[in-house]
Structure 1
Amino acid sequence: MALIINGEEIDDEVVESEFRNVKGHYERTLQVACCERDNEFRGYAKDNLISRVLLNQEAVKRVPQVDEDAITARLTKLIDEAGGETQFYMRIGMPYKDEKVVRENVAGGVRLDQMLAQVYGAEPEPTEAEQRAFYEKHLSSYMTEEMIHAAHITKSLQGAKSRQEVFDALRSIRQELLAGEDFMKLAEQHRADEQQQIDLGWFKRGDFMEEFETIAFSMGENEVSPVFTTQLGFHICKVLGRKPQEPVAFDIVKDAVRQRIIEEHRDNKFNELIEELKAVSDIKDTDPPEDTSCPGGH
């Protein structure tokens, strides 16, 4: 066993599973390629597991007994949220009903929640002045989303002899636009049918296809894009207006500010507990240092 925490051995496959989860997260956010950060991610995985095990061990010490009614209430809620008992067991990956095992797992969750409630203590009651100060300090978290107003000329590949034919047609239209022709006028002339939308109105990131937004949000006001493609065909886009991010008024986000202050209080208490537990625990990591080079020399 590579990881032993206060005498509790963590199976190597558990470490590997957590490592894969951590690495998968960074791969999905395009922050890693191949294996150049594997040692770093393995360290994150072990730290996650150490924190998890220490919390469970401490919870058993502080809350040795969990009320059966509390377990039943939590289990009933989980089953209802899953849409029924069958769906619940499918969701947790248990091919057959084993209520004893499930109740033990649920008891662990209830115990942990009860311990953390002790750790967090009473919720802070920030004054309005404290909330306003927090709002000002973290103003970047309380901004409207950037928006643009755009229109486009688009042609699909349907009925075309080739992609080149469609590209050449739009490139010719773009040359007219750059020479001073009116965008909306040309868009109407080259509209496929009355259902095809020209003016896309105001929109934010995430409202349209990423390929389209990447081009549109990189443009300045009144700028005409190059010809580009999406899964719907070829496009020329023009940005008609922009609304930059701006602060949302304090009164509108006041409740969210208060909640974030409470969450920060809990985060600080949680992190303090983890550090305290690590300081007095016997944690052994017997893994040898790994080769950081990637297969094939990448």
Structure 2
Amino acid sequence: MLIVNQEVIDPALVEDAFQRIKTQAEMVSQVSCCERDDEFLLQAQDEVIDGILLAQEAERRHQHIADEIFRPAFEMALRQWRENGASWDLIESHRKEIREETLAGLRMETFTRMLFFDLVVPDDGELLAYYNLHQLDYFTPPAVHALHLVRFPDQTQMWADYSLLLNVREIVLAGVEEFSHLAKIHTQKVNQEIDLDWISMERLSHPFESILFSLREGEISPIIHHENALHLVFAYEVKRAEQKPFDALRDEISHKIMLEKKQAILRALASELRAQAVILGSAIEEPNPVEA
């Protein structure tokens, strides 16, 4: 059980944060990250503790919310419940909960507005410096119009299909026949389709894409073994990566800088609050001891 300044924390908050953090990591790496579960759990618990400390501080600083601010927000919350299909009886049974959630939201809005009051919108110099420092974040990814030949070999006797693709590759490299013609003849796709159309770079960690986007226009790939199949791809057309122009990114970069500044302020305050807080227990379950 996790307790922060005498407030018992719902373990579901940590579980939700853990699932989000793990999902984001797996989307980036394109591989399962189960071996990092302990790391993600600790990160999730720290994130929840910081959020609770900030919410407690918001309530301490802004305990009273003026009725003219609270009432419209509360009425809007009730309408949203109704629009989402809740009956009036259900809404009435949760009225206290809705009221407390509305107050908490208004306190946090007031709290953060005061915290961020002195933040200044970045000028052109700051925007340009950020753009130059993070240029790799601002580009149009490359794309390839790819043709594809696939074989599904017997895994115990792969040489027959592998040697066939070797021969296809040699013929194309020698300029004797076009890849499109040979792919149509030899593909084992059910519909005989060889045109993958335009593929934009999304997952460079994927073995197929890491090779595909290294090809020049008119170039054939080496043989790729992936998911129990053998592949050849041909770069029919190529669009190289392009740097996005600074002028088109001003608003996006300004928003990013402001967001990072706000997050830094919240992290710094959470760190100060943590130093004074009484935090007991943990939301992370300890593994059962292994019997000897």
What is the aligned counterpart of 1:99 among 80, 95, 98?
95
Indicate how the Cα distance of structure 1 residues 163 and 268 shifts in structure 2: closer, same or farther if over 3 A, else same. Answer: closer
**Aligned match of 2:277 in 272, 281, 285?**
281
User: Contact (CA 8 Å) 1:143, 1:246: kept in 2 or not?
Assistant: yes
Rounded Cα–Cα distance in structure 2 between residues aligned with 1:259 and 1:287 = 34
Tell whether 2:221 aligns with 1:220.
no
1:170 and 1:243 mapped to 2: Cα distance?
Answer: 30
Counterparts of 1:174 and 1:88 in 2: how far apart (Å)? 68
- Give the alignment of 1:56-205 within 5 angstroms: 56-66=55-65, 67-74=70-77, 76=79, 78-79=80-81, 84-86=83-85, 98-154=94-150, 168=160, 172=164, 174-179=166-171, 180=174, 181=176, 182-189=178-185, 197-205=193-201
Q: CA contact under 8 A between 1:228 and 1:236: conserved in structure 2?
A: no
Structure 1 length-normalised TM: 0.70
Q: Secondary structure at the match of 1:86?
A: coil
Q: How many angstroms apart in 2 are the aligned matches of 1:229 and 1:95?
A: 54
Unmatched tracts of structure 1, length 5 or more: none
Matched, 1:25 2:35: no
Q: CA, structure 1 residues 196+122, in 2 after alignment: closer, same or farther (shift >3 Å)?
A: farther
Partners of 1:166 and 1:95 in 2: how far apart?
Answer: 65
Q: How does 1:33-48 map to 2 (within 5 A)?
A: 33=34, 37-38=37-38, 40-48=39-47
The one-letter code of the counterpart of 2:233 is: C
CA RMSD of aligned residues (A): 4.4
Judged with a 3 Å threshold, the aligned counterparts in structure 2 of structure 1 residues 53 and 239 are, in CA distance, closer, same or farther, namely: same
Equivalent positions of 1:214-253 (< 5 A) are: 216-217=212-213, 219-221=214-216, 222-226=219-223, 235-253=231-249
CA contact (8 A) 1:155 1:166 kept: no
Q: Report the equivalent of 1:8.
A: 7
Distance (Å, rounded) in 2 between the aligned partners of 1:135 and 1:20 = 32
CA contact (8 A) 2:73 2:102 kept: no
CA displacement at 1:174 relative to structure 2: 4.6
CA deviation string 1:173-216 (max 9, x = no partner): 551331334212323555899x8654444321359xx7854653
**CA distance 1:97–1:187, change in 2 (3 Å):** farther
SS in 2 for 1:64: coil
2:215 corresponds to which letter in structure 1? G
- Give the conservation status (yes or no) of the 8 Å contact 2:169–2:220: no
Contact 2:62 2:110 in 1 (8 A): yes
Cα pair 1:170 1:235 within 8 Å, conserved: no
Q: What CA deviation, in whole Å up to 9, does each residue of 1:68-114 have, x standing for no partner?
A: 212323554x559xxx322899xxxx999623323322332232222
The answer to whether the Cα contact below 8 Å between 2:53 and 2:273 also exists between their aligned partners in 1 is yes
For residues 9 and 168 of structure 1, the distance between their equivalents in structure 2, rounded to whole angstroms, comes to 65
Contact 2:5 2:278 in 1 (8 A): yes
Q: CA deviation at 1:129?
A: 1.9
Aligned-partner Cα distance in 2 for 1:63–1:111: 6
Percent identity among equivalent residues? 23
